[in-house]
Structure 1
Amino acid sequence: MTFAPSSSATPVPAARTSTPAADPASERRIRDSRSLSKEHATDSGSGTARRGPRPGWLLAIVLTGQFMALLDTFIVNVAAPDLRADLHASGAGLQLVIAGYTIAYAVLLITGARLGALLGHSRVFLGGLVLFTVASLACGLATGTGQLIAFRLVQGAGGAAMLPQVLSLIQRTFTGLARTRALGAYAAVLGVGAAAGQLLGGVLVSADLFGWGWRPVFLINVPVGLALLALAPWLMGVRDEARGGAEERSALDLPGLALLGAVLLLFTVPVVLGREQGWPLWGWISLALCAALVPAFARYEMRLARRGGRPLISPLVLRAPGVPLAVVRIFCMMAVNAGFVLVLMLHLQTGLGQSALLAGLAMVPTAVLFAVVGTNWRRLPQSWHPRLSAAGFLTAAASFGWLGALLSDGGDGGAWLYVGQAACGIGMSLAYNPVLSRTLASVRQSEAADASGLLVTTAQLGLLSGVALFGAVFLERVEGAAPSAATSAHALTVTCAALVTGSLVGAVAGPFNGLVRRVRGLAGDR
């Protein structure tokens, strides 16, 4: 299963599908394909021609929007102490300020992807950008905790509308080697977002611009958002991308949306808030209800697809080659990435007493190497590509283990800390980028929105789970104990061992997935 940079990166022809022509879902996909072809033909005609997208500028605009949305997942953490003191926020209020964005973001991601497919990816991206920019201004001007929580929820909704469109627009705009490079840039921005949030948050809070304290961490989005909104209509070639008739565009899977929203809400709320509240009974009940609703959602979506409807997540996407493995590996990579960033920041700032700016600088090697590897891994021999993801997880596991040992004595690790950070960036980038590119290459263009929503939601749930699980491992060993570098170092060492385990799960997922396929093949032969 080698990755062919030209042929396999192009949309899979309809002739490769095995769905019978009489299947209503198949007929709908054929109509979508014909409608899309007519749309392109119409756009090229002299009578109704519109400005076409400029690929380079389009990529720059959507990746900047992606960076803004990711940045706000992390940047507020650095400003939390100043924010709490200024607004006199309670512990629960501060939690909701931090988590409100993430909860709304995670719950609405797949819905944002589907709206992009129905209304046009460029339109929904720009609509989400407007909402995100306005909400950022409102957050920066908030005068109370309740206002800030509400505006953070709106900000998260704007991010959920923007981010799924990025992968879809890349899929629709680029092919072959250009698509692979665009996906490398996408992954680089994804990896840099966490580190940049910590670093930029530290810079803005430390600078105390105009005496505004924490407010610039939100207000910085406003000029960037306005600049993107001014440039996008000219440089993105925004046009009507909605496909199908009015009846199809109105056929949003509302029951599926309600079920999926409930599943994600029942998962994210206890994961985000549970540890701080001592894992109360309501949190466990919520997780149990989430587990019960997952099969109910899956059954409903499959029945809807068989009836010729438009399920929120297409079963064709879930059955596409490599998608189940990609879901597992993307989840694992984002979980260990988020957990690692959190616990290292806590150790450096709380355990060792470093400033937010100095601690943020420690993440620069990880971010830089993640970006460099993400844009250059294709230069490696093609025969290596199927094994790069597993090799990346193993590299990350070795790096976590080494950093845990390096910092176990309570020291700052000196220059070796940055070497270990660089190795982590290389490993996590290799774990993520090849599996993302190979998976999207196997998904047809007509299913790009569903695949984008699924993979982006998987990444977000991985972030949430990593913060909750690995954060709990660290914090349970430092809370209640006398603050000291030794206590923090011990907690970090134990957490690094847990991160090694998480990385090994991602590494063995590929062989396990291959074994399952072989067992199914043997069962089918019989």
Structure 2
Amino acid sequence: MRHTTPTILPPTGDLGGSSKSEATDNRAAESRAGDSRAPRPGRLLAIVLTGQLMAVLDVFIVNIAAPTVRADLHASGAGLQLVIAGYTISYAVLLITGARLGALLGHRRMFLTGLAVFTGASLACGLAVTTGQLIAFRFVQGAGAALMLPQVLSLIQRTFTGGSRARALGAYAAVLASGAAGGQIVGGALVEADLLGSGWRPVFLVNVPIGLSLLILGPRLLHEPAGPPRPAGPPRPRAEGPAARRSGLDLPGLVLLAAAVLLFTVPLVLGQERGRPLWGWIALGMSAVLVALFAAYETRLARRGGAPLISPRVVRAPGMPLAVIRIALGMAANAGFLFAMTLHVQGGLGYGPLRAGLTFVPTAVAFGVVGLNWQRLPARWQAVAVPGGFLLAAASFAGTGLVLRGGTDGGPWLLVALTASGAGLSFAYSPLLTRTLASVRQQDAADASGVLVTAAQLGLLTGVAVFGAVFLGATDGTVPSAGASADALWVTCVALAGAALCGVLMSLVRRVGNLR
């Protein structure tokens, strides 16, 4: 990947009487002397994407280790669900706040702060001796990720332009969804290796040396990028705005949003085991009400000159509402497919952790290759990349279910289907992310990144909950035979194909809207 490396020079203006040639010489000398300190986009991208990959892997790496965790800590079913989902819940609840804190305090500072919290929590998870401790530390891990990950998109937005930005966003997209499959692979390898009899603990401890390395390199290689000037303190309200809004954190908005996300995620995570009780449906309904109240409050606050948690201007940017839905849909299909396939290959086909993880290599490789190279396609092909990607994903889901019917291992056709699923999901996601962020003003990058990453995260959680429930419901919650598991997977793959076809229809709706 090629990146230009700009040198940030002092502003040209009144130089205290120096001649133009002297000013030029001075700037050149300063540039040469400060080369080691100059922002280097390639190094910045490597640092932030490594942190991104580490955090995304952690969402999925625990899935493979879950049986070992349960046996070692004697965790109940609900306890195990919270070990897996505690990270996701706190991550989803705090993402928007993490994005806002980055805009207020500096994206570099908040990235490193979140990285430190995440690394420390990973160490604590690896040393936990009870289920309760592990659940608590997983929530802290999610909080660290929520501080760290929104800064990645913002730093990319403010560091890269043009083709370099498209390539950087392609790398970001590849890391985001390839981490889902990569987490299964790494988790399987670590659990099966059983290093020094440590069982599941390395799936958390592996983050510690990586995080410490980034914390050592980050302060030297990460720089707050050039961009629209950001005030040193919180943004000041307009003249007519109340003084109470000077904090810029919008605490009422944060409380409303956090409550809405919690009421949405907790029933999805715990409802399946409890048979979808009435309280779960009530919580989902209350979540919808709080989302409406949050939107009304944010709009009113913006009109009064305050600093809303999510700017209505960002939400109403061209294509943003539909992009949020399609990103969530794509990530839901991705997570649901991986979850159901993991249950099938380990339960139905009897694969060990490592072999189960390696099954997803074609999906991860295809997603990464497409994410890095889709912008090289002719413009007319790029225009249909998103609907074409959803269509290819739908075909791959149906194909996977077909080749595995009857309890077989699918042979080479499974390799084809899994490769197609990774390519299709990447075509559906990567161009969509790039185009949506291109439609947002640069000063709104933090809010936009928070919205899009939250949509992706809620999509991942929803996919596991919804399509996982389809698979588990088709097996009646028992350990199925190979044939019964294959039948359940077929039902799930049909549902996944239907969801992907909805992504195709949304693209058609947008095209009709543009024609009008």
Report the AA paired with residue 100 of structure 1: G
Q: 1:41 to 1:382 in 2, by over 3 A?
A: farther
State whether structure 2 residue 471 is matched by structure 1 residue 474.
Answer: yes
Report the AA paired with residue 184 of structure 1: G
Aligned mate of 1:310, from 288, 304, 307: 307
Are the counterparts in 1 of residues 159 and 226 from structure 2 also a CA contact under 8 Å? no
Q: CA deviation at 1:52?
A: 3.3
Query: Which residue number corresponds to residue 233 of structure 2?
Result: 246
Q: CA deviation at 1:83?
A: 1.2
Q: 1:40 to 1:218 in 2, by over 3 A?
A: farther
Aligned mate of 1:427, from 407, 424, 427: 424
SS across alignment from 2:363 = helix
Instruction: Give the distance between the partners of 2:478 and 2:392, measured in 1 at CA.
Output: 33
Structure 1, residues 63-122: CA drift from partner, whole Å, max 9, x if none?
000011111101111111111121122222111111111100111111101110000001
Instruction: Give the distance between the partners of 1:337 and 1:83, measured in 2 at CA.
Output: 24
SS across alignment from 1:246 = coil
Are the counterparts in 2 of residues 52 and 238 from structure 1 also a CA contact under 8 Å? no
Are the counterparts in 2 of residues 393 and 503 from structure 1 also a CA contact under 8 Å? yes
Map 1:309-348; keep pairs closer than 5 Å: 309-348=306-345
Instruction: Give the distance between the partners of 1:40 and 1:422, measured in 2 at CA.
Output: 52
Report the AA paired with residue 159 of structure 2: T
Query: Which residue number corresponds to residue 118 of structure 1?
Result: 104
Report the AA paired with residue 360 of structure 1: G
Report the AA paired with residue 289 of structure 1: M
Are the counterparts in 2 of residues 481 and 487 from structure 1 also a CA contact under 8 Å? no
Query: Which residue number corresponds to residue 385 of structure 1?
Result: 382
Query: Which residue number corresponds to residue 301 of structure 1?
Result: 298
Structure 1, residues 143-163: CA drift from partner, whole Å, max 9, x if none?
111111111100000011111
Q: 1:230 to 1:345 in 2, by over 3 A?
A: same
Structure 1, residues 415-457: CA drift from partner, whole Å, max 9, x if none?
1111110111111110011111111111111000000000000
Aligned mate of 1:450, from 447, 452, 456: 447
Q: CA deviation at 1:238?
A: 5.0
Instruction: Give the distance between the partners of 1:464 and 1:450, measured in 2 at CA.
Output: 21
Report the AA paired with residue 92 of structure 1: A
Query: Which residue number corresponds to residue 155 of structure 1?
Result: 141
Structure 1 runs (4+) deviating above 4 angstroms are 36-42, 44-47, 238-242
Q: Give the number of aligned pairs.
A: 483
Q: CA deviation at 1:480?
A: 4.8
If the length of structure 2 is used for normalisation, what is the TM-score?
A: 0.90
Structure 1, residues 370-421: CA drift from partner, whole Å, max 9, x if none?
1101111111111222211000000010111111111112101011111110
If the length of structure 1 is used for normalisation, what is the TM-score?
A: 0.88
Q: 1:231 to 1:280 in 2, by over 3 A?
A: same
SS across alignment from 2:406 = coil
Q: 1:247 to 1:119 in 2, by over 3 A?
A: closer
Report the AA paired with residue 503 of structure 2: G
Query: Which residue number corresponds to residue 83 of structure 1?
Result: 69
Q: 1:446 to 1:253 in 2, by over 3 A?
A: same
State whether structure 2 residue 44 is matched by structure 1 residue 58.
Answer: yes
SS across alignment from 1:353 = coil
Q: 1:232 to 1:157 in 2, by over 3 A?
A: same
Aligned mate of 1:92, from 78, 94, 114: 78
Query: Which residue number corresponds to residue 106 of structure 1?
Result: 92
The runs of 5 or more residues in structure 1 that have no matched partner are 1-35, 522-526
SS across alignment from 2:217 = helix
Q: CA deviation at 1:51?
A: 3.1
Instruction: Give the distance between the partners of 1:39 and 1:398, measured in 2 at CA.
Output: 55
Instruction: Give the distance between the partners of 1:240 and 1:170, measured in 2 at CA.
Output: 11
Instruction: Give the distance between the partners of 2:469 and 2:225, measured in 1 at CA.
Output: 47
Aligned mate of 1:209, from 173, 195, 200: 195
Query: Which residue number corresponds to residue 290 of structure 1?
Result: 287
Are the counterparts in 2 of residues 61 and 228 from structure 1 also a CA contact under 8 Å? yes
Report the AA paired with residue 276 of structure 1: E
Q: CA deviation at 1:38?
A: 9.8
Are the counterparts in 1 of residues 347 and 479 from structure 2 also a CA contact under 8 Å? no
Instruction: Give the distance between the partners of 2:112 and 2:251, measured in 1 at CA.
Output: 23
Instruction: Give the distance between the partners of 1:60 and 1:166, measured in 2 at CA.
Output: 11
Structure 1 range deviating more: 56-65 or 376-385: 376-385
Query: Which residue number corresponds to residue 15 of structure 1?
Result: none
Q: 1:325 to 1:240 in 2, by over 3 A?
A: closer
State whether structure 2 residue 473 is matched by structure 1 residue 486.
Answer: no
Q: 1:375 to 1:239 in 2, by over 3 A?
A: closer
Give percent identity, aligned residues only. 64
State whether structure 2 residue 131 is matched by structure 1 residue 145.
Answer: yes
State whether structure 2 residue 253 is matched by structure 1 residue 266.
Answer: no
Q: CA deviation at 1:169?
A: 0.3
Q: CA deviation at 1:205?
A: 0.6
SS across alignment from 1:321 = coil
Aligned mate of 1:440, from 433, 437, 442: 437
Are the counterparts in 2 of residues 120 and 240 from structure 1 also a CA contact under 8 Å? no
Structure 1, residues 40-79: CA drift from partner, whole Å, max 9, x if none?
999x9869x8933211111001000001111110111111
Query: Which residue number corresponds to residue 31 of structure 1?
Result: none
The runs of 5 or more residues in structure 2 that have no matched partner are 1-7, 15-25, 236-245
Instruction: Give the distance between the partners of 2:304 and 2:9, measured in 1 at CA.
Output: 26
Structure 1, residues 309-329: CA drift from partner, whole Å, max 9, x if none?
111111111121221221121
Map 1:189-200; keep pairs closer than 5 Å: 189-200=175-186
Query: Which residue number corresponds to residue 153 of structure 2?
Result: 167
SS across alignment from 1:213 = coil
State whether structure 2 residue 350 is matched by structure 1 residue 353.
Answer: yes
Structure 1 range deviating more: 464-473 or 242-251: 242-251
Instruction: Give the distance between the partners of 1:229 and 1:435, measured in 2 at CA.
Output: 32
Are the counterparts in 1 of residues 263 and 284 from structure 2 also a CA contact under 8 Å? yes
Report the AA paired with residue 379 of structure 2: Q
Q: Which has the higher contact order (CA 8 A, sep 6+)?
A: 1
Q: CA deviation at 1:246?
A: 3.0
Instruction: Give the distance between the partners of 2:289 and 2:348, measured in 1 at CA.
Output: 40
